[in-house]
Amino acid sequence: MWAVLGAFVMDKSFLTPSSALPITASWYALIALISFSSVSVTLAVSMAWSTNALIFSFRYTRLSRSRYLLDLLLAWIFVSVFLVAIGLIFTSSMFYLASKVDVFPTYLSFLKTFGIAVLIGIFFMLIAVMLVLLVISYANVKIIQFLSFIPMILVFSLSYLMIYSSPPKLLMYFSPWNSGPSLIQAAFMNSQPINTFVSSHPESLSWAYLVISLVIWELILFAIDIYIFRRIKPQDTEAMRQI
């Protein structure tokens, strides 16, 4: 839906031979984050539903918390691969049809975009797991519906800053919601990451610092998830039905 709106409604008049590729890359960068945040909502609610089954499995089977999280991570990577591939092909196709300009990434750019997007997808999975674990460990499970939308809310507030303004470098390096779109756009275009999609004079960013920041976030979230997993408690069946 977002690709169609971007290509045929919102940015169709701006699709010139020189601007078509940057616009396509920017749209795909935001579409990828929207996709991951949407799926993370489903993941959070599903985990909340399976809380009691997980507690039983951890206690009476050989399934460990770290093994479960690693298996969940592997499954998420497969989902991310599907989302990234479909998103890349569909978004490029829509903007190609709208502009009649070749906006498909080169083979190398496709691989870089693919890898970066999957890495960002892992971040969304880990933060969704952290949110649901915090709820089922320390709060009322009924609020999971609201908290599960936090990653998506942050996409529309932080990530969209890049199409309305020029976020400071410090925010770009410390916020995955800002570094993610910048990395995806740069990989798509095989160029240097920048801090905005609209300014004619954007600030260049470091590939290494952005990737390292994202990986550090994921390692921290993984450690937090493992820690909180040890404190999840059984949930009331009736409360679970009200999610």
Taking the domains of the chain in order of start, what are their residue ranges? 17-241
Residue with structure tokens 């933060």? 127
When pLDDT is cut at 50, 70 and 90, the band that residue 185 belongs to is: very high
Query: Please, what's the b/e burial string for 146-161 (b: 16 or more CB within 10 A of its CB; e: otherwise)?
Result: ebbbbbbebbeebbbb
Phi, psi (deg, nearest 5) at residue 204 = -80, 145
CB-based burial label for 241 (10 Å; 0-12, 13-18, 19+): exposed
- Is residue 240 over pLDDT 60? no
Q: What is the mean pLDDT of residues 197-217?
A: 88
φ/ψ of 236, rounded to 5, equals -65, 130
What's residue 219's pLDDT?
A: 93
Average pLDDT rounded to a whole number, residues 69-94: 87
Cα of 242 vs its chain's centroid, Å: 27
Higher pLDDT, residue 4 or 43: 4
**Confidence at residue 201, expressed as pLDDT on a 0 to 100 scale:** 80
Q: Where are the alpha helices (DSSP H) in 139-203?
A: 144-147, 150-157, 169-174, 176-189
| DSSP 8-state code for residue 62 | S
Instruction: Flag whether pLDDT at 6 surpasses 60.
Output: yes
pLDDT band for position 216 (cuts 50, 70, 90): very high
Residue 239 has pLDDT above 60, yes or no: no
Q: Looking at residues 185-211, what average pLDDT do you find?
A: 88
Separation between Cα atoms, residue 93 and residue 140, nearest integer Å: 44
